[in-house]
Structures are given as structure tokens and as C-alpha cells.
Structure 1
Amino acid sequence: MKAVVIGSGAIGGYLAAMLDEAGHDVTLCVRTPFDELTLEDDGEARKVAATIVAEPGDLPGDASADLVIVATKAQDTESARIWLEALVGPQTLVLMAQNGIEHEERVAAFHLSGTIVPSIVYIAAERVAPGRIVHHYNSRLVLPDDAAGRRVAEWFAGTKLSVEIDPEFLTAAWRKLLSNVVANPVTALTLRRMAVFRDQAIRQLATGLLLEAMAVGRAAGAKFGDDEHERILEQYARANPDSGSSMLYDRLAGRSLEQDYLTGAVVRAGERHEVPTPLNAAILALLSAVDRTPIERP
């Protein structure tokens, strides 16, 4: 069974390690080559038996794969196209291991012959150097309750990755988006860590953003309790005040942001379902203005 992971960041590296742990033949497609992939977990480091390639022409043997995992940032999906066109055949499962809710739409223009499988990733890992992944906590992958989702789950059998098949996948995907659509933008715009949610004015803004997104999610078919926003705000309150978000880290590093795939997804869905999203639209405009803009310090 041949598995290929596109993207060598924290999530791609970790999933490649899990596939190796399950005994599969793993290839890792990278932008800049490095010698080897290692995973540090529970204080122990191990080398991952993965073939590392930087060009589609370097793919070993028959290029078609049984499983392809797209683990690039959402905004970098286009960069995966050249790999997908070389790797995907009619029997290929394409697992989208990215943030957001529009997984199928992101690759629709590629006209792939394989089966697209959306997912929800709960893995706290960090790429501390090229090819070096440190796993901190959480190791969950949520998949839809269908034949393709169950086939993907089989690939990770016997590993540390907990794979869940959720019959309410739409709700689960929107629930993850709710959390991302507040913590990521607020920390990135304020350049503050999770302690920012201790400010009363920020909590009020967060409440408004969540209530808007919940209304859109319900219109799209998600099933939320009335206290969903309170549960998320409580999670923020319990979070390590010195922890940040991926969008904050990306902004500090001058990397492109994922606003169009998080906040933008809420705004677009609101337009489709005629649900107003003025607060999220304002946040989207602000994030777009600072995207890739160097931070000027006095």
C-alpha cells in the first residue's frame, strides 16, 4: 500500500510518521529537500522511514498512490496541484488535512479522478527545523461516516493517532471552525497570546463573532446547542495565557495568513444562506490588510 504526504510541516510530518508506524510505504513531497524526517514524541525521537522528494519527476516507481494526504496550508493548496496530478488515479483516496470547511471546493478545479475525503485535524505539533517534528499533545483525526472515511481510517490502524468516524461530520467541522474563527484572528490582529481573551471588550467581540458564525453554521446544516459559544469562550479562558495560535505565529514570521479559509469561509457561507456577518466581514477586511505586511515596531 503506497501513501504519499504533500507538505512537510507539523501536520504533514506527523501524519507521515503515523503511516510509517502502521507499516506503510511512505513518500513525503517537500518544497525544499532535507535528509531525513524525525518525530519527537514523549521525550523520544525516532527516524521516520519516508522517501523524501522535491520534484514529481523524483517519485519512485509507478507514481500513482493509494492514499494521498494534502497537508499544506490551505492558502498553499495550489502548490499541491502538480503533485496531485502526478499521483491521483481513479482508486486514490485524497485526504485533505487542512483547516476550514471547503476541502472539496479547494481542489475542484484540479478535476482529480480520485475520491476527496475531508477531515478535521486535532494535532498539536510543531516543526522546529526542516524534517524535525515535535508532537506536544492531541492526536485525533475526525472523518466522515462514509465508505471513503472508513477506508482512510484503516490506514492508521494500530498507531497513536486516534481516528474517529463521525456521523455528524458537518457539525463537527463547523465546531472546529468556530474555535478557529475567533482565536486565530484576534491573536493575529492584536499580536497578543491567549491572555487577550481575559479582556472584557475582547470577550464581547468574541461572543459576537461566534454568534454570527453559529447562525451561518446552522443555516448550512450544523447542529449547535444554544450554549456553544459559551463552551468555546470557556476553553479560551482555560487555555495557557502564554500560548498563541497558528495565525499569530504566521503573522509574526511574515508568512501568509489563512484568513480567507477561516473567517472568509464564514462570510461566504453567510452570503450563500443570506445570513448577515458584519463582524466577521470586518475582521476579514482587517486580516486581509495586514496579510504579508511587515510588522513595524517603534
Structure 2
Amino acid sequence: MKILVVGAGAVGGYFGARLEQAGRDVTFLVRPARAQQLRRDGLRVLSPHGDLTLKPTLITADELSSPYDIIFLSVKAQALDQAIKDMSAAVGPETMIYPVLNGMRHIKTLTKAFGERAVVGGVCIVIADLDEQERIVQIAPLQKLTYGELSGEITARIRALDDAFRNAGFDTELSANITQEMWQKWVMIASLGLATCLLDGPVGAINAVPDGQQTILQAIDECAAIATACGFPPPQSLIDNIRKQATMKDSKLTSSMYRDLKKGAHVEVETILGDLLEHGHCYQVPAPLLQAGCVRLRVYQNTLKSPSPTS
């Protein structure tokens, strides 16, 4: 199957590189500046599972002329509207759009743009980042893609997507309940993002101070309570695992939101925290830490939009 990876950042670049390494037909849709850098340096991955450098097949939006079978959509939430415009020529009647964005809001945006049939559900688990040399650095061994029809059906086309992704150097799962899986990831990343961004430190540093552990656990409880009220209760095993990861005394674990915050970059506050808080308001679920985290990051986002003061 012809696979178009939209975005060659930490997530799309990593999984796209593994797919290409496994012999799949992969093309990366990138912005002109990224295309120039990748043509010069190659797509470079540093990983516990083995480093690699590829000369990827690249295309820019103005060069797209025909549909692809699978579109692996891996941009940040703030780039979604532009990505929809850029990739529109690649979407045909049989194209499957496989998004791995955080939260749930993007599903509504994509179905509005391309129709319900075009969009499948997706969950991506990987901890990776771009370093100062634009290399993709996988920080931890976790690497998994989960996918499924939003209807829960196991269709011929989702089996074809499964065939394309399986045995490509990372874990995969074909799910008959992908919406629940997406909510579970949302609770996980929202809990960690809320704690690390609001409390301004990695997990271990938070647990090292009085009341730190109690505050992290409260953040997890708030996020899980909202998911439960919305009809997607996280299984106890997931909550136990999040609690375990979040209360390790010497852990350097952070969230992608926190790493973006420390870089001075835009953070996905509305997608990960704001939308969850809005769901909580709808069901009258009290979430004071989540509200405080949203306010803190919205204030931060506004400073990025403001011009720098002159001396």
C-alpha cells in the first residue's frame, strides 16, 4: 500500500523510518525547509532499537497529484488545519486517514473535512523528540501503534492497514474498541502533562517535595473522573500503571507538553487539557488542578503571541 506520512517530526519521522526500513512504500509530506534539511542530512533516528539513517522519499504540498492508500497523520494539533489543506490532494475515495494526534478533537475536524468514512481511529505510544541537529531521538523503548475503525467493525480495509503496519519493527494492535483506547491515552497524557507543566518539573522532582505525590495523584484522579463521566472509564489496571509511573521517587519522566514548554515552543494545551476540562464542565466534574493547569498554559501561550518587549 502507498503510505503518505504527513510530518517528519519525532513521531511521523520515527514510525515512517521504521516502515521504510521494513520495505514499505513510504513518502513523507513535509514543508520545504524540512525537505531541504532531510535531503542534505537524511532522516536520522537514534533509538534503543537501533540507529538508522535513510534517504527518504519526500514530497511537498504543491507536488501532490494523486491519492494514497494510507495517510499517517502525525502533526501537532496547532498544525492540523494547515495539514488538512496540504494533504487534500492525497485523499481519494478509498484513502484511510490514520491520525495519531492527542486527544479526541481532531476526529471531528477530520471527519468534517473528509467525511466519516475516510477517518480511522489511532493511538501512538512513543517517547521521542528532535534534538538540536534535527535527529529523531527515541527516549524510551516503548513503540506501538494501535488502530481501528471508529465504528468498532473489523473491516477488510482495516485488516489491510494492519498488514501494512505489522512486522515493521514496532508493536501493533488492531482494536475493535479504538475510541476507548484513545480515551485511555488521553487520560494518561493529560495526567502527566498536567502534573509536570503545572508543577514545573519531572515526576521525581515533584515526588521529592512535601505534598508532591498527593498532588500528582489528584491530577490523575481528576482526568480519570472526567473520562468516566463521559462514558469511557479507564480500566483499573491503567490507572494503577499511571499511578506507579507517576510516583517513582527518582524518575526523570516528563511529558511532551513539558518538553515543549521548556523549549519555549507552543504546547497542545487546548487539545490535551482544555478540551478535557470542557468535557468536565459539561458533566459538572470538579477539576481544580486541571483548570489551574489550563490557565497556567494559556497564560504561557499568550506570551508567545505577544511581541517581545524592547529595552
Matched, 1:41 2:55: no
Q: Distance in 2 between matches of 1:263 and 1:26?
A: 33
Matched, 1:249 2:254: no
Q: 1:50 to 1:227 in 2, by over 3 A?
A: closer
5+ long unaligned stretches in structure 2: none
Cα deviation code 1:179-200 (max 9, x no counterpart):
2112213322333222233134
Q: Greater helix percent: which structure?
A: 2
Task: Summarize the alignment of residues 90-239 of structure 1 with structure 2, pairs less than 5 Å apart.
Answer: 90-112=93-115, 115-129=118-132, 132-136=135-139, 137-144=141-148, 145=152, 146-147=154-155, 149-198=158-207, 199-225=209-235, 229-238=239-248
Partner of 1:24: 24
Q: Distance in 1 between matches of 2:289 and 2:194?
A: 12
Q: Per-residue deviation at 1:102?
A: 2.9
Q: What SS class does the counterpart of residue 262 from structure 1 fall into?
A: helix
Q: 1:183 to 1:28 in 2, by over 3 A?
A: same
Q: Per-residue deviation at 1:71?
A: 0.6
5+ long unaligned stretches in structure 1: none
Q: What SS class does the counterpart of residue 167 from structure 1 fall into?
A: coil
Matched, 1:58 2:97: no
Q: Are 1:22 and 1:156, in contact at CA under 8 Å, matched by a contact in 2?
A: no
Amino acid at match of 2:26: V
Q: 1:256 to 1:217 in 2, by over 3 A?
A: same
Using structure 2 for the length normalisation, give the TM-score: 0.83
Q: Distance in 1 between matches of 2:8 and 2:225?
A: 36
Q: Greater strand percent: which structure?
A: 1
Q: Per-residue deviation at 1:143?
A: 1.8
Q: Per-residue deviation at 1:271?
A: 3.3
Q: Are 1:18 and 1:156, in contact at CA under 8 Å, matched by a contact in 2?
A: no
Q: Distance in 2 between matches of 1:225 and 1:244?
A: 23
Q: Distance in 1 between matches of 2:198 and 2:80?
A: 24
Using structure 1 for the length normalisation, give the TM-score: 0.86
Q: What SS class does the counterpart of residue 58 from structure 2 fall into?
A: strand
Q: Distance in 1 between matches of 2:230 and 2:180?
A: 9
Q: Distance in 2 between matches of 1:293 and 1:249?
A: 17
Q: 1:138 to 1:239 in 2, by over 3 A?
A: farther
Q: Are 2:198 and 2:292, in contact at CA under 8 Å, matched by a contact in 1?
A: no
Q: 1:175 to 1:240 in 2, by over 3 A?
A: farther
Q: Distance in 2 between matches of 1:42 and 1:186?
A: 27
Amino acid at match of 1:277: A
Q: What SS class does the counterpart of residue 119 from structure 1 fall into?
A: strand
Q: Are 2:193 and 2:256, in contact at CA under 8 Å, matched by a contact in 1?
A: yes
Cα deviation code 1:196-245 (max 9, x no counterpart):
33134232222333222222212222233467545422112238523432
Matched, 1:68 2:77: no
Deviating more after overlay: 243-252 vs 7-16: 243-252
The percentage of counterpart residues that share the same residue type is 24
Partner of 2:84: 81
